[in-house]
Amino acid sequence: MAESLRPQNLSAMMEALAAFKQQVSAATMELTDAGRDCADNLGDDPAGAKANASLSQKVGKINEQVGEAARIAILLQEELEDIMTRSRAADDF
């Protein structure tokens, strides 16, 4: 894989994943806060509690995907480091 990827492209992909993670994380925090506020405002209303539980579950699934994006970014970083190591080794010849 290292032969087909340019370091600048890997860096751009890692930056895009970091921006994605930051934006989605901020949005899910807003959703979680809004769900908590809604549940607080509705008090003991079972429909509100059920809706907030559903929202929390869905936010959890979104956060799993954010974690997957972070994992991909780590793999890209490892690939970039491998390319740089190979490049230095080639320069040493």
Residue 16 CA to residue 49 CA, distance in Å, equals: 36
Q: What is the pLDDT of residues 47-78, one digit of tens each?
A: 888 999 999 999 999 999 999 999 999 999 99
pLDDT given at position 58:
96
The predicted model gives 28-47 an average pLDDT of 91
Integer distance in angstroms from the first to the last C-alpha of the chain?
Answer: 22
